[in-house]
Amino acid sequence: MSNIIEVKKNVVSFLKENINCYDVTVIKIEKIQESWNAIAEVYEDDSFLKSMNLPPKQIRLFYMVKMDDKLEITAFERLNSFEGMDSTSQQ
């Protein structure tokens, strides 16, 4: 049985090793049956600016990482946005 701290460490380690990023913050973890889903906020250099040989600017991106019960990565993808971060509550 895996705990949430191990899941978080695994997500951060995986993303730092596999994408060119500066900072990884896990912002959501959920267990669904025997698998784990995590969403991470990542800061990377803007690839467009880099391709134009302009000074780099960091942009915020979101990645979804799925793991099985043994914490092996089964899938990951970059998301267009993360709804939970940009929503504002109206009172």
> pLDDT tens, 45-66?
888 887 888 888 888 999 999 9
Instruction: Please say whether the beta carbons of 63 and 39 come within 8 A.
Output: yes
What domains appear along the chain, each with residue ranges and CATH number?
A: 4-81 (3.10.450)
The whole-number pLDDT of residue 87 equals 39
Angle (CA) 58-52-41 rounded to 5° is: 20
Question: Distance between CA 40 and CA 9 in Å, rounded?
Answer: 11
> pLDDT tens, 13-51?
999 999 988 789 999 999 999 999 999 999 988 888 878
